[in-house]
Chain A
Amino acid sequence: MREMTKIVKTTANILFPFSMIFGLYIIAHGHLTPGGGFQGGAIVVSGCALLLVAYGSSWVFDRIKDKRLVTFESLGAIGFITVAFLGLVFSTAFFGNFLAGSGSLFGTTPATGSTLADFNTGGVLPLMNFAVGMKVIAGLFVIVLIMAYASSRKEWN
């Protein structure tokens, strides 16, 4: 993709931070509000794709290396699997929620019924949301970036 006009660039400059904030909000509040790691990651990647359309794929590719994105994605996957196996160690089963109700990090139990949202609840669910969010951001963005860059370059294949 080639870079576009100044109007598109200015619009992308304005919209990009808001889409970042909104997507990271969705990821961080995945255990309280609708959405989670997958949905928030998709929102963040749509903001990055806006940048890709406005500034061109080679501009983005010079600043973000695909190897680092792949490393980021693998870190998310390793974190997800690690939290799942920690459930096997500290709790009863694979994916066991060993932090729920423990009183430590994310360990507050909300009162039964409709209550106000408390961020410090959920056990391992926020950790898994962060891990899946990392994974989806890096994974989807590396897919979009590589395909956009490869379709604009001849020497790639």
Chain B
Amino acid sequence: MEKRMIVGAVVLAIVAVFFLFSIFLLHPVGEPEQVQMDDYIITHTQNETGTNNGVTSVVFDYRGFDTLGEATILFSAVTGVLLIFRRVKQ
């Protein structure tokens, strides 16, 4: 029991060090390094996609291919569930 607790404490310390390290490596909020894409989308989304909602214009227009992938994931999930729970004639 003592050995397990020591091993657990060591693992916990390592994980905590990694988390603290990654926290200090984070960029400050609101100051990203590469802003060209953000500025392009913010300035052009109303003229190019004709909508006020920039997030939807990214999801369904600029990055529509990702949404197609999400829809494919949902479709394959439905297919898998129907395949597992299909009705089998006795």
Identify the A interface with B (CB < 8 A).
Answer: 30-34, 36, 38, 66, 70, 73, 77, 80-81, 84, 94-95, 97, 100-101, 106-113, 115, 117-118, 121-125, 128-129, 132, 135-136, 139-140, 142-143, 146-147, 150, 155-157
Contacts and interface: CB of A to CB of B under 8 A. Distances in A.
Interface of B: 46-53, 55-57, 59-61, 64-65, 67-68, 70-71, 74-75, 77-78, 81-82, 85, 87-88, 90
Given A136-B74, A142-B82, A147-B81, A115 B52 contact: yes
Given A32-B51, A115-B52, A123-B51, 5 more contacts: A70-B82, A123-B50, A132-B67, A139-B77, A147-B85
A70 B78 contact: yes
Contacts of B88: 157
Interface of A is mostly: loop
B71 A31 contact: no
Contacts, number: 118
A140 B81 CA distance: 10
